[in-house]
Structure 1
Amino acid sequence: MDNFIKQIKTQARRKVKAQNRGNHIWSGFGMFGLIGWSIALPVVLGALLGIWIDKRYPGSHSWTLILLVAGLCIGCWNAARWVMKEHKNISDDEAEDE
């Protein structure tokens, strides 16, 4: 019974802490948008740079495709790094509560 009460107190503290920080459903949607932009921006910039290079210096290979894929890799790496950082922060907060 004491373990059950301890779990409820821990959950209540987490809820109050999240409310004080302003974590709610809209901040979660904002994170999805942030991740999307962190991937989309390098992809678009890579494609635009590739188009510019292909127009200025035509060659046998497509710089547009190469830089688009490079932008995708950079964007995915950036998003994964950000998600891991947020996961670590959440894990640290949970460990602090216990």
Structure 2
Amino acid sequence: MARRDEEDKLVKQIRLRQERQRREDADVPISRRLAQIGVLGWIVVTPMLVGIFAGRWLDRTLETGLFWTAPLLMIGLALGCWFAWKWMNSA
């Protein structure tokens, strides 16, 4: 009988948490969601741009064509995706 009471308490707590989460999600305005999407885009794009500018500078300085630009762009993309993933999971 004690186990049944524990399960009932657990089920009740789960339902309360789900209801609280639904209310919190309903309270977020659409403008905030759009702002989050914009921030997410910049989080990905900014490291890529830094990689491109650093790569172009190195290529011009060392006269290496596109030797540094392409890898630094890919590194920027990887960093941007990682930063976005960390930002999305921190909330």
TM value normalised by structure 1: 0.65
Residue 39 (structure 1) aligned with residue 47 (structure 2): no
Residue 29 (structure 1) aligned with residue 37 (structure 2): no
Query: Which one has the largest radius of gyration?
Result: 2
| RMSD, aligned α-carbons | 2.7
Match of 1:81 in 2: 86
User: SS of 1:31's equivalent?
Assistant: helix
TM value normalised by structure 2: 0.70
Query: Is the contact between residue 59 and residue 65 of structure 2 (CA under 8 Å) also seen in structure 1?
Result: no
Query: Is the contact between residue 52 and residue 73 of structure 2 (CA under 8 Å) also seen in structure 1?
Result: yes
One-letter code aligned to 1:69: M
One-letter code aligned to 2:63: P
1:84 Cα deviation from its structure 2 partner: 1.2
Q: After TM superposition, which residue ranges in structure 1, 4 or more long, deviate above 4 angstroms?
A: none
Match of 2:23 in 1: 15
